[in-house]
Amino acid sequence: MDTTADSTAGAAAPEAVVHEDGSTDAPATTRDRADGAEPSNKQRLLDQEGDAAADYLEELLDIADLDGDIDIFVENGRASVAVLADKDDADGLAVLVGPDGEVLDALQELTRLAAQARTGERSRLLLDIAGWREGRRTTAATLAKEAIERVKAEGESVEMDPMPAYQRKAVHDAVADAGLRSDSDGVEPHRFVVIHPA
């Protein structure tokens, strides 16, 4: 099983290989950067969160006898971990997603607790399995574009259906890119985005 760590979004990913016996070939750290810059405390904390999450998920995959590659990266100032299915077993990780992502949501909370236990800090880590969340984020962005067109055509605010925070973020980003305004309303788990004319 390979574990890939990327300390900064968009940067080339230094690779850490986790072997079957649990030993690890550590990746180059941000201390090994060409510019010699030391990582910030926040960056170190995010790296620790990602490492703790990867260790927890690796053990879970071993117990469940599932195969997957683990990618660690930082996105929008928070640690993110993606468990990717092997090409030969694209549906194997579906059990960890569950209906409507319910198992994935629970697993994300457990992974956050594992990271918090190691770092001593509250974790906001995001977990994706087999690209499920990324697919939902893409769908939310597509729905946002349709709603943006309605707002532009009608000149009135549009309320979208309730969605989780990571999908609302995709909508807010699309709205900002279109030059309009948006805000979230309602109470979890029924919060929704309202898109307003410019």
CATH number for the domain whose boundaries are 135-196: 3.30.1370.50
pTM above 0.95, yes or no: no
132 sits in which H/E element:
helix 132-154
Domain with CATH 3.30.300.20 in the chain: 2-130
Sequence-ordered strand ranges (E) for 37-187: 69-75, 78-84, 126-129, 158-159, 181-185
pLDDT in tens, 57-104: 999 999 999 989 999 999 888 899 999 987 666 678 999 999 989 999
Q: How many helices (H) and strands (E) does the chain have?
A: 4, 9
The β-bridge partners of 70 are 3, 83
Task: List residues bridging with 193 in a β-sheet.
Answer: 184
Q: Which CATH number fits domain 2-130: 3.30.300.20, 1.10.3720.10, 3.40.640.10, 3.30.2230.10?
A: 3.30.300.20
pLDDT in tens, the chain (198 residues): 444 444 333 333 344 444 444 444 444 343 344 455 666 888 899 999 999 999 999 999 999 999 899 999 998 888 999 999 876 666 789 999 999 899 999 999 999 999 999 999 999 999 999 999 999 999 999 999 999 999 999 999 999 999 998 899 999 999 999 999 999 999 988 999 999 998
